[in-house]
Amino acid sequence: MKNLFDEVKINNLTIKNRFARSATWENMTDNGKINQKLFDLYEELAKGEIGLIITGYANIVKEEQPNPGMFGIYDDSFISGYKELCNRVHKYNSKIILQVAYGGTKTKYNVGERKIYAPSNISELSTGTTGTPMTKEDINYIVRAFGRSARRAKESGFDGIEIHGAHTYLINQFLSPYYNQRTDEYGGSLENRMRFLIEIYTAMRNETDIDYPILLKLTASDFFNGGLTFKETRKIAQEMEKLGIDAIEISGNIHGKGEALIGHEFEGYKIQKEAYFGEFSKIVAKDLKIPVITVGGIKNYKTADEILNSSNISMFGLSRPLLTEPHLIKRWKEGNIKKVKCVRCSKCRTPKGNYCVIFNR
């Protein structure tokens, strides 16, 4: 019988348990730079016995900032601060991975003040923002930026890097037939729609080495007609495993409508009330040999334990519960397995930073 406190291997990285803090935007940086508040926040998570911390995503080019207070990784000036961050986390035998993304049109922040890239001239459904269709030169520029972000992550001491290919960010839009209506080699067939992602992964691998963990976050489905299907996501995951990606995290594009979509069925699989994307993750984990992380709506230790022992899923990602209880995993490890305190009110996004306003005032 598998245990939630078993070790997990991602490439050559050993993680002390099966719990991950999934990427969480904190809205606390100083122009993208790490500061004392964030040092303390991440060190507290590590003290709380979390096996793997995935950072809030970092923008890979200076001009593209879809959210205030987010991390940056677009030049070498970030490296020294991240070295200290990694050292603080490593003191407690937790591992830390940098998530990187190009947010694209999934934003309402400073729209009109900057050029925002997109695969095609299609507005993002939840924001209404429209971007500039990318030329081949634009694509090469962003691919190179992703590659350099991996080199900087490794030099900073991060234990790996995660490509954000979900949540209607730029990579997800290239994968989606709804957002990607290109007629060149980057559009049309799934093979073509994957080309941008594959070029990004290849650039990142070339800037690091075969032993450096590179993870990929994918959306299970776009969950609307004409969008990326779960069947296509399964194929993407299988192809990326063949290329050498080290782990897959399964999430979803639900445009803030998670509660409304619970119980709805897509391609024969339901969005669950707890572990929203668990059914989709189980199928992907069955397809692959590399670790699969499921994220979304996990409230109970027993739920994670049941999923672990009825599937090939390797890890469980949590976000909002750890804003409420940064020592949640330590509590569970010590035998107090009551469900999370987080009531999922989604009031944790504030202008002063993202934190629990109910229990941690």
- 12-23: burial string, b at 16+ Cβ within 10 Å, e else: ebebbbbbbbbb
Question: Looking at the domain assignment, is residue 325 inside a domain?
Answer: yes
287, with CB counted inside 10 A (0-12, 13-18, 19+), is middle
- 262-281: burial string, b at 16+ Cβ within 10 Å, e else: eeeebeebebbeebbbbbbb
249 phi-psi bin (left φ>0, alpha ψ -120 to 50, beta other): beta
- Number of domains into which the chain is organized: 1
pLDDT in tens, 59-77: 999 999 888 889 999 999 9
Question: Looking at the domain assignment, is residue 35 inside a domain?
Answer: no
- Find the CATH number of the domain harbouring 59: 3.20.20.70
Taking CA 225 as the corner, what is the angle to CA 100 and CA 195, rounded to the nearest 5 degrees? Answer: 40
User: Which among 256, 240, 237, 346 has a CA at the least distance from the CA of 294?
Assistant: 237
Question: Looking at the domain assignment, is residue 361 inside a domain?
Answer: no
Question: Looking at the domain assignment, is residue 94 inside a domain?
Answer: yes
Among the listed residues 169, 179, 269, 301, the single catalytic one is 169
Say if residues 223 and 170 touch (Cβ distance below 8 Å).
no
Q: What was the pLDDT predicted at 121?
A: 97
Q: What was the pLDDT predicted at 342?
A: 61
Question: Looking at the domain assignment, is residue 2 inside a domain?
Answer: no
Q: Where are the alpha helices (DSSP H) in the chain?
A: 36-47, 79-90, 136-156, 170-175, 190-193, 195-207, 230-243, 258-261, 278-287, 301-308, 320-324, 328-333
Q: What was the pLDDT predicted at 339?
A: 85
Question: Looking at the domain assignment, is residue 37 inside a domain?
Answer: no
Sign, CA dihedral 172-175-177-183, equals: positive
Question: Looking at the domain assignment, is residue 36 inside a domain?
Answer: no
Q: What was the pLDDT predicted at 256?
A: 55
Q: Which domain holds residue 346?
A: 8-19+44-354
Whole-model pTM: value is 0.96
Question: Looking at the domain assignment, is residue 38 inside a domain?
Answer: no
Enumerate residues 6+ apart whose C-beta is below 8 A from 347.
Answer: 357, 358
Residues of the chain with pLDDT under 50: none
- Active-site residue, 169 included: yes
Q: How many CB atoms lie within 10 A of CB 224?
A: 14
- Measured in degrees and rounded to the nearest 5, phi and psi for residue 218 equal -120, 150
